[in-house]
Structure 1
Amino acid sequence: MTARQTADLIASHAAALTLFARQWCDSPEDAVQDAFYKLIRLRTPPDDPIAWLFKVVRTTAIDLGRSARRRAKREVAIARPERWFAEREIEGLDAEAAIAALESLPGEQREAIVGRLWGGMTLEQVAIVAGCSITTAHRRYETGLQVLRERLGVICPK
């Protein structure tokens, strides 16, 4: 197939092919471009280039649509925040309320509490991670715990 014949096919059928591909994918231009690229790479042109182009555009558009749906599904799954707690309720504590209370704390207090309680770190390790003194890490931890107790209505003996 000559360059002139290919140019004529593009001029006369690209818009229709794009419209055709749009029913299967959100990037129909990519499907059409890919079909024309495959056409010019053929050693021998197809007997009916127009039918061939529509068939290739259809197949490519369906593949692109499937791929986009799989990607969107993965992105939604990845974007979905994981729960902080495996159980919905821990010893009478509502996990959702605990998460909300933790998320409302200043980052430094939350970091100290999560590191200490769930990370099993010592206050010295919390201080190293936070880049502060042990005294500051302890103050952040205690202040954060006090705020959590108040927000969750938990009375804890000191």
Structure 2
Amino acid sequence: MSPPQPSNPQDGTDVARLSRLLDSHAGALMLYARQLCGDPEDVVQLAFIKLASLEVWPDDSRAWLYRVVRNEAVSQRRSEQRRREREQAIAQHRKSWFVSEPGTQIDAGRAVESLTQLEQQQREIVVARIWGGLSFREIGELIGVSQSTAHREYQNAIFLLQSELNEPCPPPSQSLNSHRNR
């Protein structure tokens, strides 16, 4: 026994009709949606799904598809804009990694910007070493690399940071010197 096919009281050949509409109009609908939103494939697919789920198809299915594609694309674009605005608002209110204090040798904003330019592993190593006071052995164990790899990546990251900040790194504090050679 074959699976049941969607039926339309107006037309017993919905599957064939839907297939014809898809073949003849999907490309143009994609082009139309592409100018309105960032994900035209989803919008066009959703329009055809909505058409297939109707009990009674509209008299002019082509015009109906264009209307649904337009509405969905505009809705998607507005949703994307709201998401971007929320993300920007959150990013602006997010606390900085550092607190700039008068008299310090490092500008917090520039330091964060420079750190974010490093690869993730290098950033982890620098933060664990400088602010966490971990030894290269401890860092290696933490991130799953050898002690020498942790040291080499640290040196590469410091070189990149110095180049980015155009200044030498400040000397390490006394509290970190006790951790240096572990």
Return the alpha-carbon distance in structure 1 between the equivalents of residues 61 and 109 of structure 2: 64
In the TM superposition, what is the alpha-carbon distance from 1:25 to its structure 2 partner? Answer: 1.1
Q: Percent identity?
A: 41
In the TM superposition, what is the alpha-carbon distance from 1:70 to its structure 2 partner? Answer: 3.4
1:47 aligns with 2:59: yes
In the TM superposition, what is the alpha-carbon distance from 1:62 to its structure 2 partner? Answer: 1.3
Q: Which residue of 2 aligns with 1:107?
A: 128
Q: Unmatched 5+ residue regions in structure 2?
A: 1-7, 9-13, 116-122, 134-141, 143-170, 177-182
Counterpart AA for 1:56: V
Report the count of equivalent residues. Answer: 117
1:22-37 alignment runs, 5 A limit:
22-37=34-49
CA, structure 1 residues 111+38, in 2 after alignment: closer, same or farther (shift >3 Å)?
same
Counterpart AA for 2:57: P
**TM-score normalised by length of structure 2:** 0.50
Residues 1-22 of structure 1: CA deviation (Å, up to 9, x unaligned): 4111111111111111000101
CA, structure 1 residues 51+73, in 2 after alignment: closer, same or farther (shift >3 Å)?
same
Q: Which of residues 102, 107, 112 in structure 2 aligns to 1:96?
A: 107
The alignment partner of 2:132 has SS state of helix
Q: Unmatched 5+ residue regions in structure 1?
A: 113-130, 132-142, 149-158
1:109-128 alignment runs, 5 A limit:
109-112=130-133
The root-mean-square deviation of aligned C-alpha atoms, in Å, is 3.7
Q: Which has the higher helix share?
A: 1
Q: Which residue of 2 aligns with 1:58?
A: 70
Return the alpha-carbon distance in structure 2 between the equivalents of residues 14 and 98 of structure 1: 49
The alignment partner of 1:144 has SS state of coil
CA, structure 1 residues 93+55, in 2 after alignment: closer, same or farther (shift >3 Å)?
same
Return the alpha-carbon distance in structure 1 between the equivalents of residues 27 and 79 of structure 2: 23
CA, structure 1 residues 14+94, in 2 after alignment: closer, same or farther (shift >3 Å)?
same
1:4-23 alignment runs, 5 A limit:
4-23=16-35
